Amino acid sequence: MNNTIIKLEHVSKEYHRGTETVHAVNDVSLSINKGEFVAILGHSGSGKTTLLNIIGCLDHPTSGDVEVNGIKISSSPEKELTILRKKTIGFVFQQFFLIPTLTVLQNVQLPALFASKADEGKAKELLTMVGLEKRLSHLPGQLSGGEMQRVAIARSLINDPPVLLADEPTGNLDSRNADNIMNLLSELNDKGITIVIVTHNHDLVKNCSRHVFMEDGKLKHES
């Protein structure tokens, strides 16, 4: 049985700044199995975000092949990629990206609205799971940072994605809230969601099943 859910083969991403070429991601090959909890570590500028955005179909590689959940990204039409982004991949960012004028409940329902099924019951269920059942009518500005990130995580799960990608999800949080978010991600992983998290913080990801280190756009080693 093929258990691979994310597969990168010789993936590179170049940026051009004047005459200079930046190899943000440089010939990376990586396979991730269903159910793994992978931490991508590395210094600032090592290419972590670029790599995660490529996995999440938010960015195209300059060369190489990317396959997510059996769909080859380089050869997929835009429509298929939109479905992949909507149904297969949940994304969580350092800056939360909640809509300030919508309530907590509306923010979580938003991705389902685009899939034309505003599922209020599901949104409430997810908000209960992240411990925010008493905050449904609050606006994001009335929440703490840790709470905002929990809303963002609930939102990322509304379409039941099998893969969750998180770029520095605890970067704006204090250590107690960071631990809470990591515990929440661990629980989601226990439920079978494959998680890839990018971070600078080695202490936070001690419990991840796999650690991948990046340096100058390359995968350096694993542990």
Residues near ligand ATP (CB under 6 A) are 15, 17, 22, 24, 42, 44-50
Q: Minimal distance in Å, beta carbon 89 to ligand ATP? A: 18
- The residue among 15 and 97 lying less far from ligand ATP, judged by its C-beta, is 15
Least distance from Mg ion to the Cβ atom of residue 48, Å: 5
Residue with tokens 């004028």: 101
Closest approach of ligand ATP to the CB of residue 97, in Å? 16
* Contacting residues for 123 by C-beta, under 8 A, at least 6 apart: 105, 108, 109, 112, 154, 158
49 binds Mg ion (CB under 5 A): yes
Between 89 and 198, name the residue whose CB sits nearer to ligand ATP: 198
* β strands within the chain, DSSP E: 4-17, 20-33, 37-42, 63-68, 71-72, 89-93, 163-167, 194-199, 210-215, 218-222
d(CA 6, CA 19): 34
Name residue 138's amino acid. Answer: H
Q: Is 189 in the site for Mg ion (CB under 5 A)?
A: no
**Closest CB to Mg ion: residue number:** 49
Q: How many residues sit in the footprint of Mg ion (CB under 5 A)? A: 1
Q: Give the residues lining the site for Mg ion (CB under 5 A).
A: 49
